[in-house]
Amino acid sequence: MKKILAAAALSAALFCSFVSGALAAEKLKIITTIFPQYDFARQITGGEADVTMLLRPGSESHSFEPTPQDIIKISGCDMFVYVGGESDDWAERILESAEESAGRKINVVSLMSLVDTVEEEITEGMQEEAEEEEEGEGHAEYDEHVWTSPTNAIKIVNALADRLCELDKSRAELFRRNADAYAEKLAALGGEFKSIVSDGKRNLVVFGDRFPFRYFTDEYGLEYFAAFPGCSTETEASAATVAFLIDKVRAENIPVVFYREFSNEKIADAIGESTGAVPMLMHSCHNVTREDFERGVGYLELMSANAENLRKALN
């Protein structure tokens, strides 16, 4: 009898293991390029999907180069989410190869197709790319950093949720519930930024760095000056650009000069040393450190920290 009971228990355990494995295998496989859409997807799915980010935590997103292993990952996914724009030109080539390898069409979502986009602009004092200066006016380049606006983030989350609900109807109710709850938090974050800006003594911010916050400043009516446009490959600003930003900080009595994540902070430090302005981080959420990634830090936490630094910059 003991042997029979033991055999029955073993059979039950094996069956449960098989069922659990089968259910796990049924989960959607979502591949994302960088951190914003990775975090949005995991917030929506709440652990009920296999969400992977191609960009390694701690890496600079603008220097990302896909590997053959990335093609394999994409070919096996149910949905591929990328930003779009010139920085993701590689994605078209990768997708073609991945679909040939998979023998099927892959569900693809571009963040830039989900919201209204604006052209990247060169503001007064900003250093242009060397090739742009040589070539003069060319084709319009659209700003890719659409997620920096909380309103855009809500639109992106809702659109991703719609697509995921179509792909996994068995979990659609869960996905929609998670997306709605997350959208409420994003709306509250947007309200906090609005209050900070309306209560501020000034509406000008200065970046001693690239400027990936065009959609953010547009949303809240902020003016800005920066060393480089958002997707610039330049890292060393000219003396004229640095001098211009120093003069602006002095003239407007700006208390904070911003830099972005993974920056060498040299320009912000130089401006701070010359003016007394305090260099502070404004996180664009392209990527996070390995430590933050492992701790599960997300878009909301990063943007909430930005809110506190913005408060100091506007007062």
Domains of the chain with CATH codes: 27-186 (3.40.50.1980), 196-313 (3.40.50.1980)
- Confidence band of 130 (pLDDT split at 50, 70, 90): low
Let me know if 74 is exposed, middle or buried by CB neighbors in 10 A (0-12, 13-18, 19+).
buried
pLDDT for res 103: 84
Band of residue 105 on the pLDDT scale cut at 50, 70, 90: confident
pLDDT at 54: 94
Cα–Cα distance measured from residue 19 to residue 15, given in angstroms and rounded to the nearest whole number:
6
The number of residues making up the chain comes to 315
Question: Mind listing the pLDDT tens digit for each residue in 209-243?
Answer: 999 999 999 999 999 999 987 666 666 788 999 99
Question: Residues 193-206: pLDDT tens digits?
Answer: 999 999 999 999 99
Q: From the CB of residue 101, how many other CB atoms can be counted at a distance below 10 Å?
A: 13
Tell me the pLDDT tens digit for each residue of 107-116: 999 999 999 9
- Number of Cβ atoms within 10 Å of the Cβ of 92: 10
Higher pLDDT, 169 or 26: 169
Torsion of CA 56, 159, 146, 293, to 10 degrees: -30
What CA–CA distance (Å, rounded) separates 237 from 266?
10
